[in-house]
Amino acid sequence: MGIELVTQQTVLPDMDELSFTDLELDYHVRNALKAAVQGDRDFYNQLVAVIHHKDRLVPEEVALLVTCLKALTGAVSCVRIVHHQSLLAAIFGMSLWNYGTDVMDALVEVLTSLAASSGQYVDLCLEMLVTNFMPPSSSSAHFIEFLKQPRGLDKKRQVLDRVHSTFQDIANLVPLTPLRLEKITRDRMPNIYTKEPFIVMYVENMLRLESGAAGKLVGGSMLVAIMDRLIDLDVEIAWDDILQDDFSKGIFDMELEDLEGFSDHVQQDGNELTRESLIQRFFGGNLVAEKLDSLLVLTFEHLESCRESGRLIQVFETLLQSFQKTVLTAYKSKFAQFVMFYACSLDPENCGKMFASTLVNIFVSGVYPAWRMSAVSYLASYLSRAKFVAPSFVATTLESLVKWCFDYCNNQDGDINAKAHKVFYAGCQAIMYVLCFRMRSMISVPRLRSQLLLMHIEDILRHPLKPLQVCLPSIVEEFLRLAKINQIFAVPDTSADYGMLESELSRAFGGVERLDMFFPFDPCLLRKSDRFIRPNFVYWSMVRSSYYEDEEDESASDEDIDEAGINMADNISDDEGNAHFDEFDYSLDKMSITPRDSSAKFGGRIHGFVQMPSKIRPSTSPESL
């Protein structure tokens, strides 16, 4: 208060040769504004010019700008949206990023008082502030470099702190601003083609809003908007991006055999190919994947901070709703679902159980078959891959799945019909898939073992609907093998009893979307987000190893198995060798999906047995490679 700007006399010769107190200045600016309404725009135009002047301000000009802004703060009641358009345009055209802290402070004060002075300006002020989430796009290249320096980070902090505190100030004066802010933030969200640092910065700000004071009001829609953007990015990554050149041969893109050539390549290189280089190979040039990766990391970090502040459960409820609307309904989402996985890993007791029971509900009582099938795929994949899910909970969930399937097939007396009973087959496949991963841990607990035995799994599998013939052969074979080893289900010894396993049937039940081959929580292929997922993730290699010990005892007749076993033992001794794990995983993968007879066609090898697809999406990953 009480600024007397001596400099002003020198800079503004138009002004009277006086030093002004800010009250006088106020008066001058008011008069200028009023005169402009009357038609005398001289002083008004000077004012606009001062505010408009952006480039290379000398200290005197900065001082003048600050003074003018302060005077304007007092005179906002004289601003008329009709008569002072150029002034408003100049103010709203300013970017906090272009100025020092004193101008920033003066500017946000003008914005606050403008927003509070009349309802017309609220939206404009909020929009201007939201625009400042990111540096001005006109000089984006400059800012991308600038933001990598400590000076740039300082600037970012200065700007964003002011932006968010101004939201707070405006909300104190105009309590309904969060409503408008919510809409504006959603509408202004940059599209997926925005440069990575910018979209990341914007999402950072959205998350900051979510955790801020207005979070209760706007938080939900921020999360939903972020999930939407994640899905947008996700669908932008086509399967073709994952299966590049040398993987593009084969019957259809998603066959793992397509990757076989690649695996040979790995082996030839003497395991020198690390996971990193594989990712590089998949996603090296894929900007969309990098963006998605960065946004996922941001979201993960945010979820973690939510857990620390004890509001993870509320956030999770929002996420779950959004998941049902976007991720679940999106066609084979590849990465966005890991937000759910990570949230569940942070609080398995509440979030994890809520997630599973929601999926069960959708499967059991959903309306659209495709969504029900997706839901059960998510469920199966989640129960199998999440390390933090207790076996007892797996058993309980499995029980509800089995119950539904049992009731379903009791009411059916037809023969195999992949299309008509696709939801049922999806359920059966999910049950087998989960058992492939979890059978071992479940039967080691006597109570769970008996619970498992009491379910009607055998009845379902022996039903004339013949799920064993329809479900994915790789899963069925692995399941049967494990059932035999563990002597838990009295199912036929070999697939021979069921005749040729035909993947055509599974294709039929999966429909053109191939929902039969959808395993959403297969290893995450994104570089940065992987470190959040990895500690809580069950890789097939880990499961396989536990089975293998048994297997070795029982029969080491099959040489292929032997080889695999040795390989694996080697790899496991090398704890750090995740890449080795991956590699081993792949050796399973490459044999996974295609029916036996076609293997010769591709690799020219004869596989001893068809193994469990550690990941059926080829997409999937270096994990498996």
Partner 1 sequence: MKIGRVPLTHDKLKVKAPLGGMGAQEQSTNLVVYLHPSIANCVNDSILRELSSLLFTYNETFDGVVLAYDPNVRSNLAKILPGIHPYLGVRLKAKLLLFSPKPNKLLEGEVVKISRQSIHAVILGFSSAVMADEDIRDEFKYKVKHGKEVFVSRHHKKHKIKVGTIIRFLVKSFDEEILHVSGSLVAANTGCARWLDTNLEEWSQADSTTRKRKDRDEKEQKTADDKLMASRDMPSLKKDDRIKKLKKKRKEHT
120 near partner 1, judged by CB under 8 A: yes
Size of interface with partner 1, in residues (CB under 8 A) = 21
108 near partner 1, judged by CB under 8 A: no
**Tokens, residue 277:** 């280089």
CB of 552 to partner 1, least distance (A): 53
178 near partner 1, judged by CB under 8 A: no
Q: Could you say which of 83, 155, 162, 180 contacts partner 1 (CB under 8 A)?
A: 180
Please, which of residues 505-544 interact with partner 1 by CB under 8 A? none
Please, which of residues 392-411 interact with partner 1 by CB under 8 A? none
CB of 109 to partner 1, least distance (A): 10
Nearer of residues 2 and 499 to partner 1, judged by Cβ:
2
Q: Which stretch binds partner 1 (CB under 8 A): 175-183, 326-334, 490-498, 588-596?
A: 175-183
CB of 80 to partner 1, least distance (A): 12
CB of 73 to partner 1, least distance (A): 8
Q: Could you say which of 25, 48, 66, 74 contacts partner 1 (CB under 8 A)?
A: 74
Picking from 538, 547, 554, the residue whose alpha carbon sits closest to that of residue 440 is: 547
Q: Could you say which of 65, 76, 207, 480 contacts partner 1 (CB under 8 A)?
A: 76
CA distances for 208 relative to 135, 155, 315, angstroms = 17, 17, 13
Nearer of residues 82 and 512 to partner 1, judged by Cβ:
82
CB of 75 to partner 1, least distance (A): 7
Picking from 426, 350, 339, the residue whose alpha carbon sits closest to that of residue 393 is: 350
174 near partner 1, judged by CB under 8 A: yes
Nearer of residues 72 and 431 to partner 1, judged by Cβ:
72
Query: What is d(CA 294, CA 192) in angstroms, rounded to the nearest whole number?
Result: 13
H/E segment holding residue 36: helix 22-38
176 near partner 1, judged by CB under 8 A: yes
Q: Describe the crossing of helices 559-573 and 578-589 by its angle, rounded to 10 degrees.
A: 160
68 near partner 1, judged by CB under 8 A: no
179 near partner 1, judged by CB under 8 A: yes
CB of 214 to partner 1, least distance (A): 14
CB of 175 to partner 1, least distance (A): 5
Burial 493-513 (b: 16+ CB within 10 A, else e): eebeebeebebebbbbbbeee
105 near partner 1, judged by CB under 8 A: no
Nearer of residues 172 and 392 to partner 1, judged by Cβ:
172
Q: Could you say which of 138, 168, 172, 248 contacts partner 1 (CB under 8 A)?
A: 172
CB of 158 to partner 1, least distance (A): 24
Please, which of residues 1-60 interact with partner 1 by CB under 8 A? 23, 26
CB of 15 to partner 1, least distance (A): 21
Q: Could you say which of 49, 85, 93, 175 contacts partner 1 (CB under 8 A)?
A: 175
Helices of type H across 215-352:
215-236, 239-242, 260-268, 275-283, 287-308, 312-322, 338-346
Picking from 518, 325, 490, the residue whose alpha carbon sits closest to that of residue 422 is: 518
Q: Describe the crossing of helices 422-443 and 540-554 by its angle, rounded to 10 degrees.
A: 70
Nearer of residues 70 and 155 to partner 1, judged by Cβ:
70
Classified as helix, coil or strand, 233 is: helix
Nearer of residues 361 and 392 to partner 1, judged by Cβ:
361
Query: What is d(CA 90, CA 129) in angstroms, rounded to the nearest whole number?
Result: 14
H/E segment holding residue 451: helix 446-454
Half-sphere exposure of 333 (CA within 13 A, CB side): 28
Picking from 215, 180, 197, the residue whose alpha carbon sits closest to that of residue 302 is: 215
Nearer of residues 118 and 271 to partner 1, judged by Cβ:
118
118 near partner 1, judged by CB under 8 A: yes
Please, which of residues 543-572 interact with partner 1 by CB under 8 A? none
CB of 2 to partner 1, least distance (A): 11
CA distances for 450 relative to 173, 220, 443, 459, angstroms = 64, 43, 8, 16
Residue 210 burial (10 A CB sphere; 0-12, 13-18, 19+): buried
Query: What is d(CA 209, CA 166) in angstroms, rounded to the nearest whole number?
Result: 12
Q: Which stretch binds partner 1 (CB under 8 A): 50-58, 85-93, 119-127, 142-150?
A: 119-127
Q: Could you say which of 40, 42, 77, 267 contacts partner 1 (CB under 8 A)?
A: 77
Phi-psi sector, 56: left (phi>0), alpha (psi -120 to 50), beta: left
Amino acid at 262: F
Query: What is d(CA 325, CA 440) in angstroms, rounded to the nearest whole number?
Result: 35
Q: Token pair 């055209």 is at which residue?
A: 93
CB of 47 to partner 1, least distance (A): 17
CA distances for 521 relative to 92, 206, 374, 382, angstroms = 45, 26, 12, 6
Q: Which stretch binds partner 1 (CB under 8 A): 47-55, 72-80, 100-108, 269-277?
A: 72-80
Q: Which stretch binds partner 1 (CB under 8 A): 73-81, 373-381, 554-562, 587-595?
A: 73-81
Binding positions for partner 1, rule: CB under 8 A: 23, 26, 74-77, 113, 116-120, 122-123, 172-176, 179-180
